[in-house]
Structures are given as C-alpha cells and as structure tokens.
C-alpha cells in the first residue's frame, strides 16, 4: 500500500487518541544533577518527568477549524481541554502565537502519564543507552480501556541549546568542562483505543530513527507529522483483511479481528508459555478466574503488560472486570494494598517489599517463572478441574513455540520486510492455536453450565450445578461461581449470545448437547408448500418420516414447564429407564445414537411429498409430524400420519386418504392386544365421537409410543380448546417429538418408561382435571400472545380496536379491522382482527409505558405515553411520523370529537387538558384542572367529564365548571380514589369504580349528590378497568378463583344492575378492556401472563 499522508480536513479515524512527548523538565536539566553526573556521582536523584508536547487529532489549522467546525465538534464531545505548556527563555520575551488549548481524551490521565512512561524514573546517563519500549493500559472512570505504547530514547544535551516544545532556546548556562557526555531520556507515547502493541511499536521504532538524527528544535515537527499519519489510519474492519502501510524503513501491519466480537490480538500470545510451565499457566488462570489479588513482577517493564495481556486474552470471551494496572511505578506501589480484586505489575526490584507489606497477594515472578503467595494463610487457590487441566497441558505441549525450528529448513532472508512477514505469519498461526487451546479449556470447564439455566426466568441453578461436579472440583467451582466474571458470563449465556464460547461449545459439543440445540429447528414444510412441489409418485413415501421439532420459540405459555424442560426430563428419565432405574447419566453412545437417528429421520423427511389427493383433505397450514411404518388397520393397510390437527391413514397401493379422527373428536385411546394365530399383537384402538366403529391398528412394536403420542396430542388439544389457546397444541407437539426420539434411540422396554415421563399434558388431564368454569369456556373465543418470541411476557397496557374500511390506496389485507396492542417500553403490535394473526410486528413509540390510544379520522392512531408525548401513527405506513410534545406530564387520556374540523382532547396526569386541531396539529384551547391526578376524560353533551382520582369533574370545552363529584363525600375511606367511570346517557347513569373497593357504584346524572347504588362483585380483590358494551358494563380486575388470585371479568346488566357473568379471564390481573364493534370484548393481562383474550358479547 502507498505511504499514508496527512490530510488537514480528514476526520479522526479513532485509531489514534493521543501522541505525547515526555521528558525531564527544563529546570531540572539546569540543576546540580548534571554537575554530579560530570563528577561521576554513583547515585543520582531521579529527575521529574512531565508532558512536554501533546498531539491530538484532528490536525487542523485555525482557518480549517472554522471551515470544519462541525466535524471537529464531534470529535471533542468526549474530550477535555489541556493547555499546552510553553516556557519562554529568560533572555527573550515570548513573541509567538498565544498559548493554545489541546483537547485531550478523557481516558488519559495526564498527571499519571509521566510516571507510567518513566516507571523507573528519569536519570541522565553518561553514555547513550539502547532504546526501549514498554506498554500501558489506561482505564477511565467508566471502565473503558485505552492502550499505550511508550518508546524511550536518549539524546545528548548540547552545550549551546536545548529543545523544548519545538523551539530552540539559547542558554547562557554551560556545564563545567562541557556536557557532551550527558544523555537525557525522553519518551514518545502513543495512545490508541485498540491494543495494537506490535504495530505501534514498529511505528515508534521508525520514528526514533528520525528523532535521533534531527536537530533539537525539529523534534516536535517530526512527532506531529508522525501523529498526523497515524490519525489517518483507520481501524481495520473485522474479517480476513489486514491493514498494511509503509513507514520507512518498515512495512507496518495492523491485524484485523476475526469477527466483531473478537478482541484485537497484536502481540505474541506464547510469551507466558516461554516464562511458565503449563501447570503454572493453569495456576495463574485459576487465580484470574477466582478473581484473586494478583501482582506480576519482572525486571522488564515490557513483559509486565504483555504477559498480563496474554493471560486476559486466554480468558476471552470472559472479561476481567476489576482493576487492571499492568505497570506500577515506584510512586504507585501503594495500589497493591487495595482490598478488592486487581491485576497489577511491578518491577522485580520491589518484590521483597511488596511480599512483606501486603497480605493476600498472588505474586507471579515472570523472570524465574514462579507463583507464590504473600504472608496470608487464608489464601486458598483451588486447582483447575483435573480433566480440563490434563487436556490443556497435552495440547500446549504439542505446540511449536520456537520460530527458529520453523526456519531451520529455509534459506536466510535477504529482505527485511520479507523476514518480518514470515515471522508474522508464523506468529499469527501460533496465536490462533493458542486461542483455540485456551477457549477449549474454558469450554471444558463451563460447558455444563447451560444444563442448569432456566432461560424463561433467567436464573442459574448453582446448587444443582455444584452437585454434578466432582468432589475435587467443588472448591474451584464454588469460588468461580461467586465472581463478577462468571456472573457476566451467565448473562451472556442466558441471553443466548453467540460469542466465541458458544461457537466453540457448538463445534465441540457432545451428542447430548447437540441434541438440545437441535430441538428448535425449522418447521416442517406445510401442506401448501408441498403442493407447490412437483409431486412424485406415492412410492417415495416408503421412507420412514420423522418430522423435526416445530419452531416453538414464539410460544410463551407461563403455565407450561420452562422452555426445553421436556428435553431435560427426557435426559434424566430416559437414562434411568435404560437400565434398572438408578443410572444417573446417559452414556455417550446412547446420545450418539439418539442424534444419528434424529438426523437421518430429518434427511428422509425433507424428501417426502404427499400426494395431491391427500393434500386436498388437509388444511393449508397442516404439517405431517409423524408417519408410522406400514401397518394393518381395520380400514386398510397403510401408514398412520399425524399432523397438529388430526390422524389419518395414508393407504398403500393406490394412494388414498382415510380419516381416522381429529384430536378434538377423540373419546378414548387404548393400547391392547389382539390374537392372531398363536400371537398376541399389540394394537392401538381409538374411539371417536363421530364414528361408531372403533379404529384399530396393529402397530406392534410401535404401539406403545403411538399410544403415548396420541394421548398427549389429545390432551393438548383439549387444553387448547378449554383455554382457547393454540399454544397448548404446539407444546404437545414438542413432547410428542421428544417421545419419538427417545423410543427410536433406546429401543428397549425402558424407552417407553422414559417417553411416558414426557406425557405432561396427559398427566395434567388425569391428575388435575381442567377446571375452566363453564361460563368462561363458553364466552371465551380465542387467546393470542403478543409477547411471542420474547424471553418474558409483557403486560398488555392498552388495547384499541379499529374497524376495517376499504381505501383505494390500501392493500386488501390492510383494509381488515385491526387490534392495536400496547406493551411495555413503548412497544406496539398490530393484529389483523379478522384472523387474529400479526399484521405488523413490534415497533416502538418512545420507550415509556403507553397509557391510551384513539383512532382519529380513520388514518391515524394517537397514542398517549408516560413520557408526556402524544405519538401519531400512520395506519397505512405503520410508522410514527409525528409527535405532539405540549404536555409536561404523562398523557393519560384521549377523547375524539367528530365534526368539521375534528378535534382531539388529550389530558395529562398534572390536570392539563389540551384541545387539538387534527388538521393543523395545533393546540386550540387549554384547560387546567386543580389538584392533578387526571386519569381519563370523556366527551358527553358538549362537556368534558374528567376523572381526577379525588373526583369526577364536569367542565365545558371552554373551561367552565358544571358539576363535580367528590369521592370523599361518598366513601368513608379517605384513601379511596376513582379508578375510572362510564356514562350511560340513555339511562342517565354514571358508573364508577373506586380503588380498594369490591364493587361498582352508580350515580344518577340528574343528581350527582344523591347517594350511589352499589353492585357488589363477589370475590373481587381489585378493579382495574371497565367499559360499556351494549347494555352491559364489563369490569376487569383481580379476584379469587379456586383458591388463587386470577384476572377476572365481571359482566353486569346495566338495567337490572346485577352480575350476569363472572369470567376467569387470565392467570394475571386484567389490565385493559376494549370493545370490537360491540360483538367482542378483548382483555389484556398483566406481565404474569401477557396474553389477550377475545370474548363474545351476548
């Protein structure tokens, strides 16, 4: 690539954060130190280092800054100002430009930087010393890390001048006999957001060549040009391509990351293996995993950071979240007294004092490869699990760690960059191997953590996990499980993050683990998809078809077992059934057979096509999930097929379809035997309501598993019908497919016992008969789950039904009626109310709770939010393109006034009522009710009826008070407040619900002062919402049913003022109600269930 050149208007790329020149202060170079140096003093006091110059991108002139003010402002948003120090010479007043401010990244501590760049102090040398490089890790208050590379070099202090901030200053001072033998140390520090240790080291090495040859006053210009070049280098994007550029005489390579989740690795990861035996590497990794207080020691400042960084790279994707200071100067040694976990580095000279003064430390000597403990008997560092340790040691010992051995067969390279490229390629290959070995170690240690995760409730069963660990490993896991590192690891696992650990686990997992990941596989082809194929002849179906798991990630049924719990049951129960019932684990061979059986069936199933004469009998969305082998039945010979809806016989010979039964129609399922010659043949008998003749099939060895599967599907269908919730049938399919896999694998009498443990719904039906009240079952039409696909259900806060209408600009499906559902955090989902399927997947309007919705002019839906904004959604584009922000508190109610021009009234909790012109979206009038607490408004007879909690206030649209109903005048309980109300103008009634009261109160509109009538709601604990439907009042809340509190709906006859129906609606409280053209009522439940129920209105 061409050499990078600076561009004055280029935006900072982000790779270079800062470049600084550091060295001793000018005053210290005039003092007695030089005299002592000349006299050969054996001990010199260290000079005080300071920041001499700072160079921060973007590198623009003052004129350029005016032209590119916007881009520069963006780059300074997270920086602070630093005034560059310029010291004028004594003999001449300063005539240069005014002192300038330099923006410095927040993550760089300029006070500590000189100490870190000169951790051993600054001493003038009598002869030039070799250049040296070391590395820094800087952490800001937010925990963000930046990385520094420091190059130290020595320059002679000339007699006639010294340099400072790029200016030559003539000095009258001359050391006795000349100071030509005095060499002063300086340092150039480059700070980047990425740990490009080797690349930046190479860059600085190229810079030092120029700094040694240039004159003193040219140093700043060289460094500035160098920094400008680095500022133009972009961070290479993840992938296989590295960034290469020339910086004479070297070709510099900035390696890319393998993927966005991987860290940048630009150092020699095998360094720890050259310093420590593999056993000690494991010991150090254990200290890191248990978050001990760790201090590295070395006589080389460079090795401190590199070795520590290597160990942290071994832990990826686990992250060290505590203090990390790989280099401590002499002034920073008190850091090791910190009581919390840390990872630090000290010079070997301080080893003895640190070990004596501080207790509870892990002392790691890089130079001699030792790991010791400071004076503390309480330190207990456990051993890493034995099997994982042995495997790691074997893998490390097989690595080729010496580049010379790799070069032995090659000729000498005559080109510098060619030799460096060869070394780099070898190092990258070794780094990849080491990362794999370290990652395999972590996977070996933590692989079985996932078996004890409850994804639905986002918890980890640590006690059960520890019980499965070997006795010798218990102490290790007990300590690791209490660390921040492990807690972050758990969060990633519970979030199903596909990081390096998860990918390695997937690539190296056992058959047992592979099975658990296999279950949420894609759905089988539907009948409609099969019909689109070119159907081959029926003889193709001679293959046995076992259908994959349906994709159940969209299913969230709180009353069911946790997701994948059926698999865990199968694992444990299947293992016990395969022998005498005492076996605790399934042997690897069993799981290998399990997996192979499943995959073979998957492959065969993909090739199966049903005849067109069969498909015409099935619904378009039906899938065949199970086919038996060919069996004799009392309705012919063929294969029994099972879909999510029915059983049918796929006859052999001439392809045909024979209906056996839908699951809803089944009355009895029995497994028995029939006599045939001297044999007793296992037979499945199914009695249906629609046919007098019992279906019989000689399923023989398949009879027991089909008996279990049919009963489970039958029970699932009954539960789905009783609760009007199709998710039960989907979950039953999960159980059935697991049964089939277990039996197909074990092929033993114990297999049926294991499969029977998966008959969850069948057991539920037998042991706990469904107790859905008859009235509830008859009134309930359907249930839908707007939280499908979410980890946890969300509360349904608001529901809005909008009728369908045909607009020439709309698609036909867009003209259907719609149900708008507001969930938590501003989420809105739209259902097609003609089919109760999702019309528009989740989109957001703000991030706060939504309180109300209203349809305006058939083209808009207005949504009031807790964040005080009214969001306007275009019903055609399903997007929020307008917002009304005049409210100052949460918007709690909306009322639409028809007419020309149409108006919308909105209210907020602070008592503000705004009238909006729909066309102009401007506020036409404003009302302010005293007291606040305004929860809803309604328009009636030209007035606004406002529920304020403490009362119901009637005002004209102009703001004049008409009537007021105060709650304290009608209740003895001072804490009681109005929750909501409904108006029945034709009966001149006001219906209201009050907090904490188990009834509904009715006032006469003729005289609100008259005491109200009361309708008692039996077993009601709390009322949360109410609506009027025809001549009924539907009241939603919480009540006791069968000894438990559940979401209940009370249907009250408004004329007779009696409760007609008491509906057990949800497992959690009823949060909202809405009417669908007075034909249906829709109820939304709290976050404990998160479902919507559709009720028919009589």
- Checking if the pLDDT of 75 tops 70, the result is no
The pair of structure tokens assigned to 869 is 């904004």
The whole-number pLDDT of residue 520 equals 41
Overall number of domains in the chain: 4
Mean pLDDT of 700-718: 92
Which band of pLDDT confidence, cut at 50, 70 and 90, is reported for residue 770?
low
For 372-381, the CB contacts below 8 A with 24+ separation are 379/292, 380/475, 381/283, 381/286, 381/287, 381/290, 381/292
Greater model confidence, 171 or 801:
801
263 in a structural domain: no
684 in a structural domain: yes
d(CA 738, CA 1096): 37
The whole-number pLDDT of residue 10 equals 40
d(CA 1023, CA 1020): 7
Mean pLDDT of 334-347: 86
Which band of pLDDT confidence, cut at 50, 70 and 90, is reported for residue 662?
very high
Please state, as a whole number, how many other Cβ atoms lie within 10 Å of the Cβ of residue 384: 23
The whole-number pLDDT of residue 1053 equals 93
The CA distances from residue 853 to 695, 802, 906, 933, 937, in Å, are 53, 11, 10, 19, 12
d(CA 736, CA 711): 10
Burial class (CB in 10 A: 0-12, 13-18, 19+), 658: middle
Say if CB 121 and CB 46 are below 8 A apart.
Answer: yes
Which band of pLDDT confidence, cut at 50, 70 and 90, is reported for residue 171?
very low
Phi, psi (deg, nearest 5) at residue 93: -70, 155
Helix (H, G, I), strand (E, B) or coil at 484: helix
The whole-number pLDDT of residue 687 equals 94
Q: What is the pLDDT of residues 718-760, one digit of tens each?
A: 888 888 888 888 889 888 888 888 887 777 778 888 888 888 8
- 912, containing H or E segment: strand 912-917
Given 767, 801, 829, the domain boundary residue is 767
Tell how far CA 681 is from the center of its chain. Answer: 54
Tell how far CA 542 is from the center of its chain. Answer: 45
Residue 215: CATH number of its domain: 3.30.450.200
Q: What is the pLDDT of residues 174-226, one digit of tens each?
A: 443 344 568 889 999 999 999 999 999 999 999 999 888 888 788 889 999 99
Do 655 and 576 reside in the same domain of the chain?
A: yes
SS3 content of the chain, % helix, strand, coil (to 5): 30, 30, 40
- Checking if the pLDDT of 517 tops 60, the result is no
- Angle, CA of 277, 280 and 283, to the nearest 5°: 160
The whole-number pLDDT of residue 921 equals 93
532 in a structural domain: no
d(CA 1065, CA 1063): 6
Do 209 and 274 reside in the same domain of the chain?
A: no
Residue 679: CATH number of its domain: 2.30.29.30
Do 1007 and 891 reside in the same domain of the chain?
A: yes
Tell how far CA 3 is from the center of its chain. Answer: 41
Residue 465: CATH number of its domain: 3.40.50.11500
The whole-number pLDDT of residue 954 equals 92
Calculate Rg over the CA atoms of the chain: 39
Which band of pLDDT confidence, cut at 50, 70 and 90, is reported for residue 545?
very low
Helix (H, G, I), strand (E, B) or coil at 242: coil
Q: Which range (99-108, 382-391, 666-675) has the least confidence?
A: 99-108
- Checking if the pLDDT of 451 tops 70, the result is yes
Mean pLDDT of 229-248: 87
Do 250 and 302 reside in the same domain of the chain?
A: no
Please provide the average confidence, as pLDDT, over all residues in the chain: 81
Say if CB 851 and CB 864 are below 8 A apart.
Answer: yes
Given 707, 738, 767, the domain boundary residue is 767
d(CA 990, CA 975): 21
Mean pLDDT of 1002-1031: 89
d(CA 464, CA 461): 6
Shortest CA distance to 864 belongs to which of 846, 879, 839, 876? 846
The whole-number pLDDT of residue 811 equals 61
Which band of pLDDT confidence, cut at 50, 70 and 90, is reported for residue 390?
very high
Mean pLDDT of 687-696: 92
Q: 0.85 exceeded by the pTM?
A: no
Q: Which range (53-57, 266-270, 292-296, 818-822) has the least confidence?
A: 53-57
4 in a structural domain: no
Which band of pLDDT confidence, cut at 50, 70 and 90, is reported for residue 383?
very high
71 CB contacts (<8 Å, ≥6 apart)? 11, 58
**Winning range, highest mean pLDDT, from 150-164, 383-397, 887-901:** 383-397
Q: What is the pLDDT of residues 932-958, one digit of tens each?
A: 889 999 999 889 999 987 889 999 988
Which band of pLDDT confidence, cut at 50, 70 and 90, is reported for residue 590?
confident
Do 761 and 781 reside in the same domain of the chain?
A: no
Domain holding 79, by residue range, is: 16-254
Helix (H, G, I), strand (E, B) or coil at 432: helix
Do 757 and 781 reside in the same domain of the chain?
A: no
Do 923 and 980 reside in the same domain of the chain?
A: yes
**What is the residue whose two structure tokens read 């719904």?**
761
d(CA 605, CA 592): 20
- Checking if the pLDDT of 41 tops 60, the result is no
566 in a structural domain: no
Say if CB 994 and CB 1015 are below 8 A apart.
Answer: no
Which band of pLDDT confidence, cut at 50, 70 and 90, is reported for residue 628?
confident
**Which is it for strands 145-156 and 837-844: parallel, antiparallel or unpaired?**
unpaired
- Checking if the pLDDT of 436 tops 90, the result is yes
- Checking if the pLDDT of 4 tops 70, the result is no
Do 1077 and 1009 reside in the same domain of the chain?
A: yes
Do 241 and 387 reside in the same domain of the chain?
A: no
High-pLDDT (> 70) share of the chain, %:
79
Mean pLDDT of 261-289: 94
Q: What is the pLDDT of residues 463-516, one digit of tens each?
A: 999 999 999 999 999 999 999 899 999 999 998 888 889 888 888 865 545 544
The whole-number pLDDT of residue 511 equals 55
Is-cis flag, bond preceding 317, omega within 30?
Answer: yes
Do 299 and 323 reside in the same domain of the chain?
A: yes
Q: Which range (176-190, 537-551, 844-858, 1038-1052) has the least confidence?
A: 537-551
Do 854 and 874 reside in the same domain of the chain?
A: yes
Q: Which range (124-133, 288-297, 701-710) has the least confidence?
A: 124-133
Is-cis flag, bond preceding 55, omega within 30?
Answer: no
Given 209, 227, 254, the domain boundary residue is 254
Cα atoms in the Cβ-side hemisphere of radius 13 Å centred on 170 = 3
Greater model confidence, 725 or 671:
671
752 in a structural domain: yes
The whole-number pLDDT of residue 509 equals 66
Residue 1025: CATH number of its domain: 2.130.10.10
The pair of structure tokens assigned to 1062 is 């008491």
Do 497 and 584 reside in the same domain of the chain?
A: no
d(CA 830, CA 807): 18
The whole-number pLDDT of residue 22 equals 93
Say if CB 736 and CB 717 are below 8 A apart.
Answer: no
426 in a structural domain: yes
The whole-number pLDDT of residue 106 equals 60
- Checking if the pLDDT of 302 tops 60, the result is yes
In DSSP notation, 670-724 reads: EEEEEEETTEEEEEEEEEESS-SSPEEEE-GGGHHHHHHHHHHHHHHHHHHHHHT
515 in a structural domain: no
């Amino acid at each position: 690539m061409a050499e990078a050149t600076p561009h004055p208007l280029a935006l900072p790329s982000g790779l270079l954060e800062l470049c600084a020149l550091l060295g001793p202060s000018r005053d210290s170079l005039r003092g007695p130190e030089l005299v002592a140096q000349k006299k050969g003093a054996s001990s010199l006091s260290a000079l005080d280092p300071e920041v001499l110059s700072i160079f921060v991108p973007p590198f623009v002139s003052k004129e350029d800054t005016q032209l590119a003010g916007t881009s520069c402002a963006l780059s300074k948003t997270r920086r602070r100002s630093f005034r560059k120090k310029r010291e004028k010479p004594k003999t001449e007043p300063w005539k240069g430009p005014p002192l300038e401010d330099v923006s410095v990244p927040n993550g760089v501590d300029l006070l500590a930087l000189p100490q870190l760049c000169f951790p051993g102090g600054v001493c003038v040398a009598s002869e030039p010393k070799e250049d040296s490089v070391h590395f820094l890790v800087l952490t800001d208050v937010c925990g963000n890390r930046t990385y520094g590379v420091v190059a130290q070099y020595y320059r002679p202090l000339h007699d006639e001048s010294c340099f400072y901030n790029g200016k030559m200053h003539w000095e009258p001072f001359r050391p006795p006999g000349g100071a030509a033998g005095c060499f002063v140390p300086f340092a150039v520090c480059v700070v980047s957001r990425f740990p490009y240790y080797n690349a930046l080291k190479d860059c600085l090495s190229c810079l030092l060549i120029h700094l040694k040859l240039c004159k003193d006053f040219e140093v700043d210009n060289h460094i500035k040009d160098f920094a400008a070049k680095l500022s133009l280098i972009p961070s290479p994007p993840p992938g296989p391509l590295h960034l290469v550029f020339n910086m004479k005489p070297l070709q510099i390579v900035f390696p890319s990351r393998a993927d966005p989740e991987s860290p940048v690795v630009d150092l020699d990861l095998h360094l720890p293996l050259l310093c420590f035996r593999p056993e000690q590497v494991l010991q150090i990794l254990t200290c890191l995993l248990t978050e001990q207080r760790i201090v590295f020691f070395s006589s080389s400042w460079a090795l401190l950071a590199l070795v520590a960084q290597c160990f942290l790279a071994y832990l990826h994707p686990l992250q060290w979240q505590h203090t990390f200071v790989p280099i401590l100067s002499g002034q920073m040694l008190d850091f090791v007294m910190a009581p919390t976990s840390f990872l630090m580095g000290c010079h070997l000279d301080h080893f003895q004092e640190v070990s004596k003064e501080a207790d509870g430390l892990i002392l790691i000597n890089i130079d001699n490869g030792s790991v010791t403990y400071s004076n503390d008997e309480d330190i207990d560092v456990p051993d890493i699990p034995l099997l994982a340790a042995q495997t790691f040691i074997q893998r490390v010992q097989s690595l080729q760690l010496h580049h010379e051995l790799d070069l032995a067969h090659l000729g000498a390279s005559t080109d510098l960059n060619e030799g460096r490229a060869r070394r780099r390629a070898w190092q990258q290959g070794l780094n990849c191997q080491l990362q794999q070995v370290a990652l395999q170690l972590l996977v070996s240690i933590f692989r079985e953590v996932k078996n004890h995760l409850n994804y639905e409730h986002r918890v980890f069963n640590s006690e059960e996990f520890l019980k499965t660990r070997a006795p010798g490993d218990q102490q290790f896991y007990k300590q690791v499980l209490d660390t921040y590192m492990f807690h972050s690891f758990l969060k990633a696992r519970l979030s199903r993050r596909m990081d390096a650990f998860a990918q390695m686990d997937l690539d190296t997992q056992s058959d047992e683990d592979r099975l658990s990941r296999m279950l949420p596989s894609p759905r089988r082809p539907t009948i409609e998809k099969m019909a689109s194929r070119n159907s081959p002849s029926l003889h193709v179906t001679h293959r046995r078809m076992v259908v994959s798991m349906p994709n159940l990630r969209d299913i969230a049924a709180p009353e069911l077992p946790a997701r994948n719990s059926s698999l865990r049951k199968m694992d444990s129960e299947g293992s016990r059934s395969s022998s005498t019932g005492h076996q605790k684990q399934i042997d690897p061979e069993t799981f290998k057979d399990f997996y192979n059986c499943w995959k073979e069936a998957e492959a065969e199933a993909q090739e199966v096509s049903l005849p067109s004469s069969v498909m015409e009998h099935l619904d378009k969305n039906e899938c065949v999930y199970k086919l038996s082998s060919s069996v004799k039945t009392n309705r012919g010979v063929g294969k029994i097929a099972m879909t999510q809806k029915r059983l049918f016989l796929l006859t052999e010979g001439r392809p045909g379809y024979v209906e056996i039964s839908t699951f809803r129609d089944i009355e009895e399922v029995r497994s028995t035997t029939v006599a045939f010659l001297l044999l007793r043949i296992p037979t499945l008998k199914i009695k249906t309501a629609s046919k007098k003749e019992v279906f019989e099939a000689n399923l023989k060895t398949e009879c027991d598993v089909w008996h279990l599967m049919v009963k489970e599907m039958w029970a699932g269908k009954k539960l789905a019908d009783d609760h009007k919730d199709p998710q039960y049938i989907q979950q039953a399919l999960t159980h059935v497919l697991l049964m089939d896999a277990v039996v197909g694998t074990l092929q033993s009498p114990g297999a049926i016992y294991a499969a029977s443990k998966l008959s969850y719904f069948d057991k539920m039906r037998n042991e706990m008969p469904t107790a859905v009240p008859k009235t509830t079952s008859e009134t309930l039409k359907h249930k839908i789950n707007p939280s499908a696909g979410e980890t946890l259900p969300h509360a349904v806060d608001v529901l809005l039904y909008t009728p369908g209408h045909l607009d020439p600009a709309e698609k036909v499906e867009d003209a259907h009626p719609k149900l708008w559902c507001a969930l938590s955090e501003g989420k809105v989902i739209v259902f097609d109310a003609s089919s109760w399927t999702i019309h528009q997947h989740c989109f957001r309007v703000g991030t706060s709770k939504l309180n109300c919705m209203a349809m305006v002019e058939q083209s808009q839906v207005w949504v009031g939010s807790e964040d005080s904004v009214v969001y306007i959604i275009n019903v055609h584009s399903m997007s929020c393109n307008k917002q009304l922000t005049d409210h100052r508190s949460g918007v709690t109610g909306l009322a639409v006034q028809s007419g020309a021009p149409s108006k919308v009234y909105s209210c907020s909790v602070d008592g503000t009522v705004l009238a909006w012109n729909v066309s102009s979206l401007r506020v036409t009038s404003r009302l302010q009710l005293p007291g606040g607490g305004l929860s809803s408004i309604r328009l009636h007879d030209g007035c606004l009826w406002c529920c304020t909690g403490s009362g119901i206030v009637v005002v004209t649209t102009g703001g004049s008070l008409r009537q007021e109903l105060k709650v304290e005048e009608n209740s003895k309980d001072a804490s009681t407040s109005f929750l909501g109300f409904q108006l029945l103008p034709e009966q001149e009634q006001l219906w209201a619900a009050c907090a904490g009261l188990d009834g509904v109160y009715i006032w006469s509109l003729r005289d609100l002062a008259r005491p109200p009538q009361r309708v008692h709601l039996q077993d009601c604990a709390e009322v949360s919402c109410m609506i009027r439907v025809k001549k009924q009042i539907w009241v939603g809340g919480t009540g006791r049913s069968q000894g438990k509190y559940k979401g209940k709906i009370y249907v009250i006859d408004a004329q007779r003022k009696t409760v007609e129906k008491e509906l057990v609606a949800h497992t959690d409280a009823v949060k909202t109600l809405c009417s669908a053209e007075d034909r249906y009522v829709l109820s939304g439940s709290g976050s404990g269930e998160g479902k919507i129920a559709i009720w028919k209105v009589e």
